[in-house]
Amino acid sequence: MPTLARKLRVTDYFTLAFGTMVGVGWLVLMDDWLGRGGPLGAALGFALGGFLLLPVGYVYGKWVQRLPDAASEAAYTAQVFPPIVSFFTGWVMLLAYFIVCPWEAVAIGKVAAYIFPSLNSFALYSVAGQPVFLPRLLLGVAMTVFLAILNYRGIRLSATFQNWTASTVILLFLLLLGISVWRGSPANFQPLCRATPLVSIVLTLQIVPYFLTGFESAPKCAEEANPEFRRSGYMRAIALALLVGAGFYALAVLAVGYIAPWQNLLGKRFATAIAFEQALGARWPVRLILVMAFFGLFQCFNGNFVASSRLLFAYGRRQTIPAAFGRIHEKFQTPSVAIFGIATATVVGLLLGDALLVPVTEVGSMASAFGWLAACVSFWLVEPSPRMRAITGLGILVSFLLFIMKVFPLFPGHFSAAEWIALGIWLALGFALHGVRRVKT
């Protein structure tokens, strides 16, 4: 039987994790972030979220050293919980990764239309009042097909692509920070928060799980590590990606709030680009930001495509869904059927257009927090060391709080009816696939 190619190094795991976290949210949704917390509240929300998630990252680092399985959360929970609990834990976590793929496929058309307004033509239909334009739809389909081919032909090709895009994003971001420091003013920060500091931070923390999902993507590719790779490298890659990713988002908010009066940016598309254009009175910063956005979009799309296809593959291999998803291409040593499945589902999600963007953030946040909680609880139940249990307990507390902030009506920004419906559809799909597997067996 063919096995997955073993090609990945520590750098590859870091760029995979960082790239899976950082896409174009800092450009497309900056007005939403500022509207939630203001510059200080939103920045503290992201920074605090990254710090609080370190115990969760520690648990994942320990789990992958103990059990390097592409099923990740499903494999971890299977050690202590019944099979049905393990199945739906992994299925919900798959949602957190997969749902980013159509998000990015939609976003590429949205970003491109900012440069070429003619792409906003030939409206085919509307979803929730948002038109779906044919040129933007075709652009998203083309990007999905490109990444599917890239991943189909080998993990080394995908990892090299990820390394280049992540390096470009980090370098251009440092340049952007320098411009903000050079031309910005502390007066633009006022007021520091949109509401009270606590409410501002809480409203931002609710979306942090979605934007920081990715530090735990390394375990999904654990079976593809180079034979000389040391398992301690997983922990380093996870921790570094988590800190750099959270720092990226926090500094992005501060850079925008520092260079332009943030209240004038609320409700505006591409608030990040608008802020720099207004401050410098020129278009070249916008072009720089958009180039950086495209690279960020590519790395995030590719990272989530890799992680979600590996989870789907692991489910097929375990035969908890139709076993065809667990096939490995004999020549390229990639999960070819799972890659095709994720690409197809991405195109289906892409048909929803711009209406997908903000609701997806909310559903993805809940799914991520639930997966983290399940992984931490499982590790706490199998780990005998009191010190490690104490750290794991912190991970349980953090992930539980992030989870209940989305599902309990007591908290502002909780799930809406549409988001519950979206979650219900995904769970129903899981039941259906699981049922098909049971009928065939």
For the residues of 94-150, what is the DSSP string, one character each? HHHHHTHHHHHHHHHHHHHHHH-GGGS-SEEEEETTEEEEHHHHHHHHHHHHHHHHH
Judge whether 173 and 167 are in contact, CB under 8 Å. no
Express each pLDDT in 359-385 by its tens digit.
Answer: 666 677 788 889 999 999 999 999 999
Confidence of residue 433 (pLDDT cuts 50, 70, 90): confident
Confidence of residue 289 (pLDDT cuts 50, 70, 90): confident
Residue whose tokens read 């790239």:
19
The top-level CATH class assigned to 10-440 is mainly alpha
**Which are the contacts of 6, defined by CB distance < 8 A and separation ≥ 6?**
223, 224, 225, 226, 227
pTM above 0.85, yes or no: yes
Confidence of residue 309 (pLDDT cuts 50, 70, 90): very high
Q: How many angstroms separate the Cα of 324 from the Cα of each of 302, 359, 411?
A: 23, 31, 42
Judge whether 430 and 400 are in contact, CB under 8 Å. no
Q: ω before 191 within 30° of 0 (cis)?
A: yes
pLDDT at 249 over 90: yes
How many angstroms separate the CA atoms of 3 and 98, rounded?
Answer: 23
Q: Give me the residue spans of the domains in the chain.
A: 10-440
Express each pLDDT in 6-43 by its tens digit.
Answer: 999 999 999 999 999 998 888 878 998 999 999 999 99
Q: And the tokens for 76?
A: 């971890």
Confidence of residue 440 (pLDDT cuts 50, 70, 90): low
pLDDT at 154 over 60: yes
